[in-house]
Amino acid sequence: MGNMIKVQKGTKDILPQEMALWHKMEENALRVFSNAGYGEIRTPIFEATELFARGVGDTTDIVNKEMYTFEKSERSLTLRPENTAGVVRSFIENGMHRLSAPVKLWYKGPMFRYERPQAGRQRQFHQVGVEMFGIKDATADAEVIELAVSYLKSLGLDDLEVEINSLGCPECRENFKTKLKEVLKPYYNELCEDCQTRYEKNPLRLLDCKVPSCKEIFERPEVKAVIQGDFICEECAKHFNELKSYLDILGIKYSVNKLLVRGLDYYNRTVFEIKSNNLGSQNAVCGGGRYDTLVGNLGGQPTCAIGFAMGMERLYSLMNEVNEDKLDAFVVCTDKKESLKLVKYLRDNDIKTDFDFTGKKFTKQMEKAAKVAKFAVILGEDEVANNTVSVKNLETSEQVAVSRNELLNILR
């Protein structure tokens, strides 16, 4: 016998008994996002490596450490670690800037990051997300955050925390970076290795560090004063205040987290995350923000944009309802030929049906029916003789003899 081949570390099979909730996540995405005018887009799973290096940013962990990159015909290709870059590529390539703004797109599908697997963190995981192009006004930011909250509500998840922040524009951010570097300079040698690199390459990302000794430095009064200070310019502050007032109007509770900088380089102004207290350390179900320069940076007509993505495995683990996916009917009949005919009749009429393939005794078949179905459809000798069937509601144990036409009505 050969060796057993196992599923790869950080990847998972999604099994039939889990599908009811997966379908719910997908169907609700289609419904909630189409109701808001978003069209679904499906981009390829692999893209040119350069798209992510330039799109997500070459100082990010995602690009530096986590990409599944391979070569084919001397081309460097990468399994998508996220879908914003791919959607932007498609937006540009298909000339979507010519459509009237806003252009609204949503997607779902697998993403790949070579991370250390742990609870809530996989190497292949799934995201559902939206991207909206062409609106600079803070109403767009409010709509996108509202949409995330509505989608989560549709899945029964309303006990979540919305955190927002503004990263300002490239100009005000430069200012902030300089101030941050100045105040951190005396602590440079105490920063962790990653933070020392960030200090040189991308100081904003320092704030995202989870190492306790770094976090402690950010709590020092003079450092904290810089972090908590209002570094963003007047225009950016106005945009952020408008967003807050729109969220208030929509009744969305949020808190401002000045340490929220996100792990991808393309953001400016609004960034946000939605977190759950029931997820342990990987507590973000949703991350997103505004990226007004990405379309231009990737070679398109400069177009502002904002979006979010949610981790579907994390949503799944929060949806604690019973993952029940019972059959509508189980045909109980000791005559296999009659069973085959009746099962086909029910399936043709869109009733989810199965039966016993092996002609077991009546009582065994009834036991099986009680386990897997809502109704037992019983076809015994009497029923065949009278041209009726008996239907037993397996929850209430009520049983009635009916004609085939009535049968459909009951099962529906």
- Shortest reach from residue 87's CB to ligand HAM, in Å: 8
Of 233 and 284, the one with the shorter C-beta distance to ligand HAM is 284
Does 275 contact ligand HAM by CB under 6 A?
no
Does 285 contact ligand HAM by CB under 6 A?
yes
Distance separating alpha carbons of residues 292 and 271, to the nearest angstrom: 12
Q: What are phi and psi of 154, to 5 degrees?
A: -60, -20
Binding segment for ligand HAM (CB under 6 A), chosen from 30-38, 96-104, 114-122, 323-331, is 114-122
Does 276 contact ligand HAM by CB under 6 A?
no
- Shortest reach from residue 282's CB to ligand HAM, in Å: 7
Of 141 and 356, the one with the shorter C-beta distance to ligand HAM is 141
Binding string to ligand HAM for residues 74 to 93, with x set by CB under 6 A, is what? --------x-x---------
Of 67 and 342, the one with the shorter C-beta distance to ligand HAM is 67
Of 261 and 327, the one with the shorter C-beta distance to ligand HAM is 261
Of 124 and 196, the one with the shorter C-beta distance to ligand HAM is 124
Distance separating alpha carbons of residues 380 and 361, to the nearest angstrom: 12
Q: How many CB atoms lie within 10 A of CB 26?
A: 15
Query: Looking at 54, 89, 113, 392, which residue binds ligand HAM (CB under 6 A)?
Result: 113
- Shortest reach from residue 305's CB to ligand HAM, in Å: 8
Of 120 and 203, the one with the shorter C-beta distance to ligand HAM is 120
Distance separating alpha carbons of residues 396 and 374, to the nearest angstrom: 10
- Shortest reach from residue 27's CB to ligand HAM, in Å: 20
Binding string to ligand HAM for residues 121 to 140, with x set by CB under 6 A, is what? xx--x-x-x-x---------
Does 307 contact ligand HAM by CB under 6 A?
yes
Q: What are phi and psi of 328, to 5 degrees?
A: -70, -45
Does 286 contact ligand HAM by CB under 6 A?
yes
- Shortest reach from residue 315's CB to ligand HAM, in Å: 8
Binding segment for ligand HAM (CB under 6 A), chosen from 91-99, 186-194, 219-227, 306-314, is 306-314
Distance separating alpha carbons of residues 147 and 152, to the nearest angstrom: 9
Rg of the chain's alpha carbons, rounded to an integer? 27
Binding residues (CB under 6 A) for ligand HAM: these are 82, 84, 113, 115, 121-122, 125, 127, 129, 131, 263-264, 284-289, 307-311, 313-314
